[in-house]
Amino acid sequence: MSTEVLTEARRQNRTATEFKNEPLTDFSKPENKSAMETALKKVRAEFGREVPLVIGGERITGLKTFDSFNPAHKAQLLGKFSKGTREHVEKAIEAAWKAFQSWKRQPIDIRAGLLFRAAELMRKRKHEFSATMIYEVGKTWPEADADTAEAIDFLEFYAREAYRYAGEQPMTRIESEDNELVYIPLGVGAVIPPWNFPLAIMVGMTSAAVVTGNTVVLKPSSDAPWIAWRFFALLEEAGMPPGVVNFLSGGGAEVGEPLIQHARIRFISFTGSKEVGLHINEEAAKPRKGQMWIKRVIAEMGGKDAIIVDRETKNLDEAASAAVASAFGFQGQKCSACSRLIVDEAIYDRFVPLVVQKTKALKLAAPEAPETQIGPVVNESAMKKIKEYIDKGAREGTLLAGGNVRDQEGYFVEPTVIGDVDSHATIAQEEIFGPVLAVIKAKNFDDALRIANDTQFGLTGAVFTDNPEKIRMAEEEFFVGNLYFNRKCTGALVGVHPFGGFNMSGTDSKAGGRDYLGLFLQAKAISRKRK
């Protein structure tokens, strides 16, 4: 690690308590709009490149590849990515264990310094990272910018948090002994990030593992390998030693399964669907030959998130705007997205038309255009699955807005609102992961809470009401990991809203919170008898 990185880490540590969230970009300013347009052109010039595996610092080329296409322009090739194999999994794990022997001994200034330097570099090139996501997963300008800002936040926040875990821990004192508690890393972990927050979540999972002294095999989503590669290259530039993070793209059967099943994998950090998360948890629970530990699984999974709009809500227009933003931001492809809108019957006929009106006003187009509000869904399979849910929902309820796909150029699904949905209907219970909002009528506030909790998930939720007693009731009774009042149910900020859910929504990991780094560490108590 360079002296420059160490010096920068120590400088940053002097202000370690001063974490502030990265500001979002105001694209109404001409200079910011121009900067993003420049970044889009620069990233576009990189289309078609072939990306290797990187194991122990060695670039492995000449392998079979898979293609990454732009979901807004489905014939537009973005890049070719190497297909790893079981043999590469073995090599990557071996390289990671080799690097672990020295990385775990590095002082906190070195490990946190890597994150601080990476954050600085990403901040300088933030629009290039955002432009990559605009092309690769169809994020609009604001959605991509928020993703990049969150990635910077994770780097900055976890670097500071690492100092707290590395410092002296409070202990009860006794006269006969000197006692201390130290946190030590787990070892080699598999990091398996999602495609929907392909930078922020991937950066958070990877940086948390690395800053606590672990080493990683990073298997990016096959729908978002390019942005993962851009981050990996940034880590190398920031001074990451070979083998600390190993870049291993490829399919689930060839890379994912051997990785999670391997006896030498100590932990698995995963974000994705309930089905895959449960499978990983099941596989991790099976001890393999030669395995010396119980694998730790950190899983962030799905949601069926609800916004309740109570009859005692004064500003219905504001509530409608929040519901639409929560339901259709990034085409509803967020685990925190509002997919159930539960409305008190006393205001149902006044409120729902506001939601429909705002939904129909959304501009659906290719996301490289700055005015676009709704881009494509991630791939053809997702588009077809979402359309099946829409058709079934339209039979179960009343189609109020949208309902169509536009697949001539890309994988576009109109933002869709379906009213008069029964709380046990398919679209009210299953995670759709697309721009589909089910509107459910509640008899009263108690009934609304009952409906909100009547799901296997428990990730986010929001309540609109001006009644303080109902707020207090929801605080106790609404069973979700992240609960918001009189605001949207998406947009968690690192350090402000520690993020993670209950039930089938995952292990309540609370990413971006003070507990998160502890998931990548184990505590060791040390006692010395006084003479």
Burial code of 215-243, b = ≥16 C-beta within 10 A, e = fewer?
A: bbbbbbbbbbbbbbbbbbebbbebbbbeb
Q: Which residues constitute the domain of residue 340? A: 305-493
φ, ψ for residue 330 (rounded to 5)? 50, 45
The CATH number linked to 123 is: 3.40.605.10
Same domain, 12 and 83: yes
Q: What is the pLDDT of residue 274?
A: 96
Catalytic residue among 8, 128, 161, 335: 335
Question: Residue 15: pLDDT above 50?
Answer: no
Evaluate whether 305 touches 489 at the Cβ level (below 8 Å).
yes
On the 0-12 / 13-18 / 19+ scale of CB atoms within 10 A, 461 is: buried
Burial code of 411-443, b = ≥16 C-beta within 10 A, e = fewer?
A: bbbbbbbbbebebebbbbbbbbbbbbbbbbbbe
The verdict on residue 373 lying in a domain is yes
H helix or E strand, kind and range, residue 41:
helix 30-44
Same domain, 188 and 325: no
Cα-trace Rg, the chain:
23
Residues 340-394 have pLDDT tens digits of 999 999 999 999 999 999 999 999 999 999 999 999 999 999 999 999 999 999 9
The verdict on residue 237 lying in a domain is yes
Strands 416-419 and 412-413 come out as unpaired
Residue 338 annotated as catalytic: no
Same domain, 273 and 352: no
Same domain, 370 and 481: yes
Question: Residue 29: pLDDT above 60?
Answer: yes
Same domain, 310 and 199: no
Residue 335 annotated as catalytic: yes
Question: Residue 140: pLDDT above 90?
Answer: yes
The verdict on residue 257 lying in a domain is yes
Residues 35-47 have pLDDT tens digits of 999 999 999 999 9
The verdict on residue 64 lying in a domain is yes
The CATH number linked to 478 is: 3.40.309.10
Residues 291-305 have pLDDT tens digits of 999 999 999 999 999
Q: How does the average pLDDT of the chain come out, rounded?
A: 96
Residues 430-471 have pLDDT tens digits of 999 999 999 999 999 999 999 999 999 999 999 999 999 999
The verdict on residue 36 lying in a domain is no
Residues 200-228 have pLDDT tens digits of 999 999 999 999 999 999 999 999 999 99
The total number of structural domains that make up the chain: 2
The verdict on residue 310 lying in a domain is yes
Residues 64-120 have pLDDT tens digits of 999 999 999 999 999 999 999 999 999 999 999 999 999 999 999 999 999 999 999
Q: What is the pLDDT of residue 8?
A: 54
| DSSP output for 68-133 | EEETTEEEEEEEEEE---HHHHHHHHHHHHHHHHHHTTS-HHHHHHHHHHHHHHHHHTHHHHHHHH
Same domain, 284 and 345: no
Give, in degrees to the nearest 5, the angle at Cα 250 between 245 and 251. 130
Question: Which among 404, 435, 419 is positioned nearest to 327, based on CA atoms?
Answer: 435
The verdict on residue 350 lying in a domain is yes
H helix or E strand, kind and range, residue 340:
strand 338-344
Q: What is the pLDDT of residue 14?
A: 45
Same domain, 174 and 310: no
Catalytic residue among 150, 161, 300, 368: 300
The verdict on residue 37 lying in a domain is no
Same domain, 205 and 73: yes
Same domain, 238 and 309: no
Model pTM score = 0.96
Residues 69-81 have pLDDT tens digits of 999 999 999 999 9
